């Protein structure tokens, strides 16, 4: 059980880093095409929907 908790903590940490990176990328939207923006939005929406730790 402790292994599972450690893995879950590691996953949550990595997911938090992913969210940070995606949010940082959003700051450069002015330089992106509409398609680039839509791709990031889809990735983040999919992430939020499928990761229980994010809710």
Assess whether pLDDT exceeds 60 at residue 1.
no
Q: What is the pLDDT of residue 10?
A: 87
DSSP state of 30: G
Query: Rounded CA gap, 51 and 55, in Å?
Result: 7
Question: Is pTM, for the whole model, over 0.75?
Answer: no
**Is the CB of residue 37 less than 8 Å from the CB of residue 29?**
yes
Tens-place pLDDT, residues 17-29: 888 888 887 777 6
Query: Rounded CA gap, 17 and 15, in Å?
Result: 5
Tens-place pLDDT, residues 4-52: 788 888 888 888 888 888 888 777 766 778 888 888 889 888 888 887 6
Residues 6+ apart with CB under 8 A from 8: 53
Q: What is the pLDDT of residue 53?
A: 65
Q: What is the pLDDT of residue 30?
A: 67
């Amino acid at each position: 059980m402790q292994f599972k908790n450690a893995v879950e903590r590691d996953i949550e940490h990595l997911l938090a880093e992913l969210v940070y990176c995606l949010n940082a990328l959003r700051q450069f939207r002015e330089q992106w095409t509409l398609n680039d923006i839509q791709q990031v939005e889809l990735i983040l929406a999919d992430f939020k929907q499928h990761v229980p730790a994010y809710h």
